[in-house]
Amino acid sequence: MAGNLDQGRAGRALDAANFFLADVRDGLGPYLAIYLLTEQHWDEARIGLVMSIGTMAGIVAQTPAGALVDAARAKRLVMAVAAIMVTTASLALPLFPNFLPVVISQSVAHAAAVVFPPAIAAISLGIFGHAAFTRRIGRNETFNHAGNAVAAGLAGLAACWFGPTVVFYILGAMAVASLISILAIPERAIDHDLARGLHDIGTDSQREQPSGLDVLLTCRPLLIFAACVALFHLSNAAMLPLVGQKLALQDKTMGTSLMSACIVAAQIVMVPFAMLVGARADRWGHKRFFLAALLILPVRGALYTLSDNPFWLVGVQLLDGVGAGIFGAIFPVIVADLMRNTGRFNVAQGAVITAQSIGAALSTTLAGLVVVSAGYSAAFMILGAVAAIGAIICLVALPETRQIAGGGLEAKGKTAASASAIAAAAE
């Protein structure tokens, strides 16, 4: 474990990295469609196709990215290279605005960006260990949401004077700052075995080799958690786009401004809830927080149907900050619980994020079909029902994953993540 001096320095560098990577990890994000529509005069079909291809590239890269982070002992370098790739690909877009170059650049950007979540979590675990991991992840998410809010605010204000292309300059500045922050993390502070989920049993013979990759398919709680995560995003991903469409229908001139307000306000709301997870999840239970994130979605979906007033819609959207703030902070904590002592923490993160991405990709399709056939209210109710199904599965089938004294899971049910590295919890 790193000394106190290195740990303190590493903690401050991680704070900065999370803040500045908040913008870099998303690349152009929601601004891509605006830029291609207003500056390059693309039609909506071509824009949608490019964004879909980029999203698919990210989905395909998720699990290999986690495996890379598990295997790499130069995690800072992996993150730095990924940051350069995302930024270069995004900054190349104005220079090569034709269809094929844009498809390639956005595919590269999405594929490279999936390195950041597992790498940040791995470095955090490798520096602070399991005992302080929940609190550290809560702090990571706090700085991540603050960075997102600041970047979105800067982009919104600067675009008023300089137009949509200003996002490229903001992305470039954030990328430079993120690289400095990443390299400021002391290499000697990272225990790379601990960072992949090893080093927690106590005998050298059990620390030598990670579990086989079949642990991803044989750990029943991990499969249950992945299913719940997919349902969370199948419910959640389409809600903000639907709200944006309703806002635009109410007032086309104010739709974009109100959408920006939704994003910034939700990010600000996420900060205290990420902090709450970091401060209380080890005491109150990890499953309880994940269940709360799922249960907020049916409430949110039902509230959207009560009024079309723009201020009501924006107000209800603040609940996104509650659910997403909790989910972002508790997600790596639960995966770390389930993969403890297997050495497969990061590849498991990648696998579950793949399930998450598939759910998110299907969400907008489901919502669009329902809106066309039955209207917005029906779409919100169905999306909420999907999350309710996830909450039931979580409540009934997912064990409490919080670790108790002695290294066991505080759970009843089969939770064996690796036959050689972690004993199954008693039924």
Task: Calculate mean pLDDT across residues 400-420.
Answer: 50
Residue 424 in this model has a pLDDT that exceeds 60: no
- Report residue 403's pLDDT band, with 50, 70 and 90 as the boundaries: low
Q: Is 201 within a domain?
A: no
What pLDDT was estimated at residue 158? 77
In angstroms, how far is CA 286 from the centroid of its own chain?
17
Q: State whether 177 and 258 are in the same domain.
A: no
The answer to whether residue 207 sits within a structural domain is: no
Q: Which amino acid is at 411?
A: A
Q: Are residues 221 and 286 in the same domain?
A: yes
Our count of domains for the chain comes to 2
Domain that holds residue 321: 213-427
Contact 154, 167 (CB under 8 A): no
pLDDT value of residue 90: 83
Q: Is the pLDDT of residue 426 over 50?
A: no
With both helix axes pointing from N to C terminus, report the angle between 75-91 and 4-24 in degrees, rounded to the nearest 10.
Answer: 20
For residue 280, the one-letter residue type is R
Indicate whether 144 belongs to any domain.
Answer: yes
| More confident: 39 or 390 | 390
Q: Is position 402 within any domain?
A: yes
Residues 82, 111, single domain; the answer is yes
Q: For position 395, what pLDDT does the model report?
A: 97
Q: Which residues of 117-154 are buried (b: 16+ CB within 10 A; e: fewer)?
A: bbbbbbbbbbbbbbebbbbbbbbbbbbbbbbbbbbbbb
Question: Which residue type sits at 349?
Answer: Q
Whose CA is closest to 338, among 399, 293, 294?
399
pLDDT score recorded for residue 29 = 65
> 403 forms bridges with which residues in the sheet?
409
The whole-number pLDDT of residue 419 equals: 37
What's the confidence (pLDDT) of residue 47? 77
Residue 308, pLDDT > 60, answer: yes
SS3 403: strand
| φ, ψ (nearest 5 deg) of residue 380 | -65, -40
- Same domain as 227, residue 168: no
Instruction: Write down the pLDDT at residue 425.
Output: 33
Take residue 351 and report the two structure tokens written for it.
Answer: 């696998």
Q: State the SS3 of the chain.
A: CCCHHHHHHHHHHHHHHHHHHHHHCCCCCCHHHHHHHHCCCCCHHHHHHHHHHHHHHHHHHHHHHHHHHHHCCCHHHHHHHHHHHHHHHHHCCCCCCCHHHHHHHHHHHHHHHCCHHHHHHHHHHHHHCCCCHHHHHHHHHHHHHHHHHHHHHHHHHHHHHHCCCHHHHHHHHHHHHHHHHHHCCCHHHCCHHHHCCCCCCCCHHHHCCCCCCCHHHHCHHHHHHHHHHHHHHHHHCCHHHHHHHHHHHHCCCCHHHHHHHHHHHHHHHHHHHHHHHHHHHHHHCHHHHHHHHHHHHHHHHHHHCCCCCHHHHHHHHHHHHHHHHHHHHHHHHHHHHHCCCCCCHHHHHHHHHHHHHHHHHHHHHHHHHHHHHHCHHHHHHHHHHHHHHHHHHHHHHCCCCCECCCCCECCCCCCCCCCCCCCCCCC
Is the alpha carbon torsion for 3, 9, 12, 18 positive or negative?
negative
pLDDT value at 201 more than 50: no
pLDDT in tens, 155-183: 777 777 777 677 778 888 888 999 999 99
Query: What value, to the nearest 5°, has the Cα angle with vertex 323 and ends 156 and 360?
Result: 75
Mark whether 184 and 240 lie in a shared domain. no
Global model pTM greater than 0.85: no
CA distances from 272 to 44, 169, 368 (A): 37, 29, 32
Quote the pLDDT of residue 190: 93
Per the model's pLDDT, the better-predicted residue between 76 and 309 turns out to be 76
pLDDT score, position 248: 65
pLDDT tens digits for 248-303?
666 655 555 666 677 777 888 998 999 999 999 999 999 999 999 999 999 999 99
**Same domain for 192 and 226?**
no
Which of these three, 196, 230, 263, is where a domain ends?
196
What is the model's pLDDT at position 336?
Answer: 93
User: Could you tell me if 235 and 173 lie in one domain?
Assistant: no
Q: Which residue has the higher pLDDT, 219 or 24?
A: 219
Each residue of 229-245: pLDDT tens digit?
999 999 998 888 888 77
Distance CA 22, CA 325 (A): 14
| pLDDT at residue 258 in the model | 65
135 belongs to a structural domain: yes
418 and 300 part of one domain: yes
pLDDT of 42 strictly over 50: yes
Q: What amino acid is encoded at 299 in this protein?
A: V
Give me the CATH number covering residue 386.
1.20.1250.20
Same domain, 112 and 9: yes
Are 146 and 248 in a shared domain?
no
Q: What angle do CA 56, 57, 59 make, to 5 degrees?
A: 60
Phi, psi of 283 (to 5 degrees): -90, -40
Q: Are residues 165 and 230 in the same domain?
A: no
Tell me the mean pLDDT in the region 405-420. 42
The listed range with the strongest mean pLDDT (78-82, 145-149, 204-208, 369-373) is: 78-82
Tell me: do 56 and 155 sit in the same domain. yes
Confidence of residue 405 (pLDDT cuts 50, 70, 90): very low
pLDDT at 254: 56
In the chain, the percentage of residues whose pLDDT exceeds 90 is 48
C-alpha dihedral, 205 to 208 to 213 to 217, nearest 10°: 30
Average pLDDT score, the chain: 84
